[in-house]
Amino acid sequence: MKHKKRSNFSNKLGFVLAAAGSAVGLGNLWRFPYLAAKYGGGIFLLVYLILAVTFGFTIMIGEIAIGRKTGLSAIGAFEKLDKKYTFIGYLASIVPIIILPYYSVIGGWVIKYFVDFISGNSVKAAKDGHFEAFISNPTQPIICFFIFILITAIIVFLGVEKGVEKVSKILMPVLAILTVGIAIYTATLPGSIDGLLYYVKPNFNHFSIKTVVAAMGQLFYSMSLAMGIMITYGSYMKKDVKIESSVTQIEIFDTCIAFFAGMMIVPAVFVFNNGDSSAINAGPGLMFITLPKVFNSMNLGSVIGLLFFILVLFAALTSSISLMETIVSIIHDKLHIGRKKATLIIAIFTCIVALPSSLGFGIWSGITPLGMSFLDFFDFISNSILMPIVAMLTCFFIGFVIKTDAIAEEVKLNSSFKREKLFVIMTKYIAPVLLLIILVSSILNALGIVKI
């Protein structure tokens, strides 16, 4: 097979921005706040932070180094390092295929709110029951995700991702600033203090293994780990860019955005529900139920809301484009199907698989695989089953097959490796064991065998 010369990111900032651009998306804005709300607020935040500097750090270093060492994306990279373990690359590649359809359903919800705000319906969007009426409608959410997938597919089909990336490099910092601004505004609302305390102050009574399972899944999802993405990014990284400090910067950036997204949403739930804490369990709809109320309470809220949803739509599209692009590349390389044809196939497949995730909140709400809605089910399969498996295998592979020295050598090409000890101990011992515990407990819990 002919290999095109890989274009490299020109410098460290370029690399960090590109990787952070892939990492920041609906995971930070939509997923993190509803999980933080649901799994105990401050205690979830604390567990997440601890996992980010230990697990997140270790796995991101490992993946980026594997990518840069081999110059290949996941499947090729594992194959080159040890043929017997190519299956890890394949397993990682399944994750984006599962994520993209339900990611598109949420992207569709963003389109709906964007349309609401642009057509002057921002007050209506803030009313109780607006979101529920929308997602239980049999056709509207389907039209929305269809449009979202269509836009994604057209961009991948035409090969104009680079243009979108350029625009998003300008828009993402604006989104970051806006998120911080809204978070500060939320904190000034009367009655937000209880919510703020719930969000930042760990309450150990809320701790359970579920908190760890949820935080770990979120970490992988948000930082695009355990799905081959960071290996691909690493393969484009120049040899003179420092891996360790890049990883630190990507993690800080991604975590800050998630933190402020939570701060703009979680306290607001307390403000607008008169302290009724059952609202914090809203799940995937939390952002869409809460934020319009925040915008409705501010001067110029309809304009700020519109700006916010445009930017979120952009963030969601850059992620979905990169997800689709990843899948198309795999199909193109492995099944030798032309890129355009592959895009078409993936787009149709994504629409079909998105259908149950969307209908699961409406006419199919009676069908609950493993007791979950379809969207939660797909989310569970990717985040609580597949990603821990891939992460565990990757750690095993690095720790005992190619050995941690092989990674350390790559990291140390141009700098010292300050947290090498942490990396080695995590990779060889702590990460695999904890991931196994998480995996087993979440499977047993889903099957109803034990209650965690």
**Binding positions for ligand TRP, rule: CB under 6 A:** 22-23, 25-28, 96, 99, 221-222, 224, 227, 229, 319, 322-323
Q: Closest Cα partner for 48 from 67, 35, 60, 59?
A: 35
In the chain the first and final C-alpha atoms are separated, in Å, by 49
Ramachandran quadrant class, 226 (left: phi over 0; alpha: psi -120 to 50; beta: rest)? left
Q: With respect to ligand TRP, which residue has the nearer C-beta, 14 or 362?
A: 14
Q: Which of 51, 62, 356, 326 is nearest to 214 (CA)?
A: 51
The amino acid that residue 444 corresponds to is L
CB of 83 to ligand TRP, least distance (A): 26
Q: Using alpha carbons only, what angle is made at residue 267 by residues 264 and 271, rounded to the nearest 5 degrees? A: 115
- Which DSSP string corresponds to 62-84? HHHHHHHHHTS-HHHHHHHH-GG
Burial class (CB in 10 A: 0-12, 13-18, 19+), 120: exposed
Shortest distance, position 127 Cβ to ligand TRP, whole Å: 28
Report in angstroms how near the CB of residue 221 gets to ligand TRP at its nearest. 6
Smallest gap from Cβ 152 to ligand TRP, in A, equals 11
Distance CA 274, CA 189 (A): 12
Contact in structure between 60 and 274 (CB atoms under 8 Å): no
Shortest Cβ 274–ligand TRP spacing (Å)? 32
User: For residues 213 and 324, which CB has a smaller minimum distance to ligand TRP in the complex?
Assistant: 324
* CB-count burial class (<10 Å; 0-12, 13-18, 19+) for 215: buried
Distance between CA 229 and CA 209 in Å, rounded?
27
Tokens representing residue 285 in the block: 């709809």
Nearer residue to ligand TRP within complex by CB, 33 or 195? 33
Task: State the nearest-atom distance from the C-beta of 71 to ligand TRP, in Å.
Answer: 19
From the CB of 102, what's the least distance to ligand TRP, in Å?
11
Residue partners of 91: CB distance under 8 A and separation at least 6: 386, 389, 390, 393
For ligand TRP, which is the closer residue by CB, 32 or 397?
32
The answer to whether the beta carbons of residues 253 and 63 sit under 8 Å apart is: no
Minimum distance of ligand TRP from residue 321's CB (angstroms): 8
* Nearer to ligand TRP (CB atom), residue 16 or residue 196: 16
- Cβ distance to ligand TRP smaller for residue 25 or 141: 25
Measured in residues, the chain has a length of 452
Distance CA 197, CA 447 (A): 34
Min dist. Cβ of residue 228 to ligand TRP (A): 9
In 10 A of CB 90, how many CB atoms?
Answer: 16
Residue nearer to ligand TRP on the CB measure, 58 or 222: 222
Q: What is the chain's percent helix, strand, coil content, to nearest 5?
A: 80, 0, 20
Give whichever of 250 and 435 is closer to ligand TRP, judged by the CB atom.
250
Nearer to ligand TRP by C-beta: 95 or 280?
Answer: 95
Q: What are phi and psi of 137, to 5 degrees?
A: -65, 135
Shortest Cβ distance from residue 360 to ligand TRP (Å)? 20
* Closest CB to ligand TRP among residues 175, 323: 323
> 9: which DSSP letter?
P
C-alpha to C-alpha distance for 297 and 38, rounded to whole angstroms: 24
User: Minimal distance in Å, beta carbon 18 to ligand TRP?
Assistant: 11
Q: Which is nearer to ligand TRP, 79 or 325 (CB)?
A: 325
